Amino acid sequence: AKTAEEGAKKEGAEVVDATLGAAAAAGAAAGAAVTGTMVVEFDAGSNGGIKMVSFKTPQVGLALVLSGGGCCASGKPKVAVKAVDKKGQAETLGVLKSWKVVSINGTPVTGLDQAQKLLADSAAKLPQA
């Protein structure tokens, strides 16, 4: 059985991790506003880790889909890259199909509709190529 101290230590570690995540997200949003870019955070899977990609023009060049969460998947469905346009900005920046979208300009992605709106709204603020 765990002692109360061990439980508190574990909870404290989770709070620290959440705080660092929030700080990183806030930093991404602030950096995006200053540099005129849209920063999308992707989870590239167990071998790829987390990738921060900065888009510079409104022609992002990717489509999103809701993936996972079916009968055999663990956890909630995630928003993922459905397709990457050939020779588009996303492909040039190294984005791959099936990467999970974690955040857009520091805002955590919670669903497909929200992610598509965030992507469109953020991309619309970018300078034309």
pTM above 0.85, yes or no: no
Instruction: Look at residue 71 in the predicted model and tell me its pLDDT.
Output: 58
19-35 residue pLDDT tens: 334 444 445 455 455 56
How far CA 80 is from CA of 7, 18, 73, 122, 125, in Å, comes to 34, 22, 14, 18, 22
How far apart, in whole angstroms, are the C-alpha atoms of residue 75 and residue 9?
25
61-74 residue pLDDT tens: 999 999 876 555 55
Mean pLDDT in each 10-residue stretch from start to end of the chain (129 residues)? 40 32 48 74 93 96 87 73 96 97 96 96 91
Instruction: Look at residue 88 in the predicted model and tell me its pLDDT.
Output: 95
